A and B are shown apart, each in its own frame.
Chain A
Amino acid sequence: GQSLEQPSEVTAVEGAIVQINCTYQTSGFYGLSWYQQHDGGAPTFLSYNALDGLEETGRFSSFLSRSDSYGYLLLQELQMKDSASYFCALGGSTLGRLYFGRGTQLTVWP
């Protein structure tokens, strides 16, 4: 099966940088993606790593190391609006199959 672990909570101040880690166990997967969800809202796609290395999208970057079964989401220049839950998700060996972590609640303080 597949399992993903991420911290349940992270806090930081405006303007800071925060890293949300995701470790996983899997028998095979296509890639690791990240989603953001504000309270009461739908998850929205942030980033995807099919290959090892860093993917950068504006203030957000995501990293994957298949050899370490590890990835992270890096958020720079934090803003209050970044306060949300962040989920890592593994694409399973079957296209369409997706496994989510339990989510990390990020709180950004002024």
Chain B
Amino acid sequence: EAQVTQNPRYLITVTGKKLTVTCSQNMNHEYMSWYRQDPGLGLRQIYYSMNVEVTDKGDVPEGYKVSRKEKRNFPLILESPSPNQTSLYFCASSSPVTGTETYEQYFGPGTRLTVT
């Protein structure tokens, strides 16, 4: 089954404790992205990756890191989480076969993060 998986689905942590949210896709997609979703603000792109070792900042990259060492994986790293990073996080992937399909993104189930 074609899918994007994220782990963990729920996480409660404390300020300053480094954490990683994993994201993996089995569709051989070149593009992957991370979004955060906060009430009333919609989805905001944190980072995106066009291929292995190629990443770029989105709307709200501060406080986050990403890496793309393998095509299928795109982990999101919070080196020192703070309460304002409490949010719902989505990973997504897509394939720019024609250049337009970038916008048909396949989303993971989401990770609900609480930082106290």
CB within 8 Å of B: which residues of A? 8, 30-31, 33, 35, 41-45, 48, 50, 87, 89, 91, 94-103
Contacts and interface: CB of A to CB of B under 8 A. Distances in A.
Interface string B37-81: 000111111001110000010110000000000000000000000
Which of A42, A87, A91, A97: most chain B Cβ within 10 A?
A42
Nearest to A8: B40
Contact of A102 (B42, B107, B108): B42
A33 B104 contact: yes
A41 B59 CA distance: 22
A94 B40 CA distance: 26
B44 A95 contact: no
Interface of B: 31, 33, 35, 40-45, 48-50, 56, 58-59, 90, 96, 99-100, 102-110
A96 B102 contact: yes
Contacts of B107: 42-44
B102 A91 contact: yes
A101 B44 CA distance: 9
B42 A98 contact: no
